[in-house]
């Protein structure tokens, strides 16, 4: 398991948290999602072999959010 911190653009309200949380938890290999609205970040605990970082970023893009990974 790996922890990746994603900086997410355009997160502004509680429904964003639900959208982002749902988009990431729907991916096989994602174990934990911690959305920090105030910081504009999402900490994801994931299996990099089944859920690599680019898959997380693509899922967020499909949900309407651009994001960039940072080392957690």
Q: Which residues bind Cu ion (CB under 5 A)?
A: 12-13, 15-16
User: CB–CB of 7/65 below 8 Å?
Assistant: no
- Name every residue whose Cβ is closer than 8 Å to that of residue 26 and which is 6 or more positions away in sequence: 59
Q: Edge-to-edge strands of the sheet including 67-71?
A: 30-36, 41-46, 2-8, 67-71
In whole angstroms, how close is the CB of 29 to Cu ion at the nearest point?
A: 26
Complex with Cu ion: residue 12 or 50, whichever CB lies closer: 12
Q: How far is the CB of 19 from Cu ion (least distance, A)?
A: 7
CB of 24 to Cu ion, least distance (A): 15
Element at 21 (helix H, strand E): helix 14-25
Cβ closer to Cu ion: 15 or 54? 15
Nearer to Cu ion, 15 or 49 (CB): 15
């Amino acid at each position: 398991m790996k922890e990746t911190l994603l900086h997410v653009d355009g997160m502004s309200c509680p429904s964003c948290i639900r959208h982002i949380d749902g988009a990431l938890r729907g991916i096989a290999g994602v174990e934990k999602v911690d959305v920090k609205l105030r910081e504009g970040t999402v900490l994801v605990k994931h299996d990099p072999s089944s859920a690599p970082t680019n898959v997380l970023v693509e899922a967020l893009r499909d949900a309407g959010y651009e994001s960039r990974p940072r080392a957690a």
